[in-house]
Each structure stands twice: as structure tokens, then as C-alpha cells.
């Protein structure tokens, strides 16, 4: 029987038997971990990056004409 947050890892042909593993809910794991400051700049939001890509595509299509 498996407990809550447990699973069986099966990898044929390397592992010829199942291995029980403990599975953690990743968001909860991140909340419990100490925050690490790497000193990296903030990343752009996806919407800003998408808008930049649309602009680049428009300009490249205009240059093709």
C-alpha cells in the first residue's frame, strides 16, 4: 500500500523492480524553502515579451515588401 504523497517509480529495463518515492507538492515545498537572492534583474512579463515579438514580426514583414 502507498501512503499519501508516495508513488512507485518504474523504469524498464534499467530498474527491474519498482522503487517507492516520496512526492512533494512543489508550490508548498517552495514556500517552505528559504528565499535565495541571486541578485538577478527582474525578468520581463510574458505579455511584454509577446508584444515585442509581434512588433519584430510586423517590422520584418514590412521590410519584405
pLDDT at res. 56:
92
pLDDT at residue 58, as a whole number: 92
Q: pLDDT tens string for the chain (65 positions)?
A: 788 888 988 877 777 788 888 887 777 777 888 777 778 787 778 888 888 899 999 999 888 87
pLDDT of residue 33: 80
Q: What is the pLDDT of residue 55?
A: 93
Question: Following DSSP, what letter does each residue of 3-47 receive, concatenated?
Answer: PTTEEEE--TTT-SS-EEEE---HHHHHHHSPP----PPPPPPHH
Whole-model pTM: value is 0.34
Amino acid at each position: 500500500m502507498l501512503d499519501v504523497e508516495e508513488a512507485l517509480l518504474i523504469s524498464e529495463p534499467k530498474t527491474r523492480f519498482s522503487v517507492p518515492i516520496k512526492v512533494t507538492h512543489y508550490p508548498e515545498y517552495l514556500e517552505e524553502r528559504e528565499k535565495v537572492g541571486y541578485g538577478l534583474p527582474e525578468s520581463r512579463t510574458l505579455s511584454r515579451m509577446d508584444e515585442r515579438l509581434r512588433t519584430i514580426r510586423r517590422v520584418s514583414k514590412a521590410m519584405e515588401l
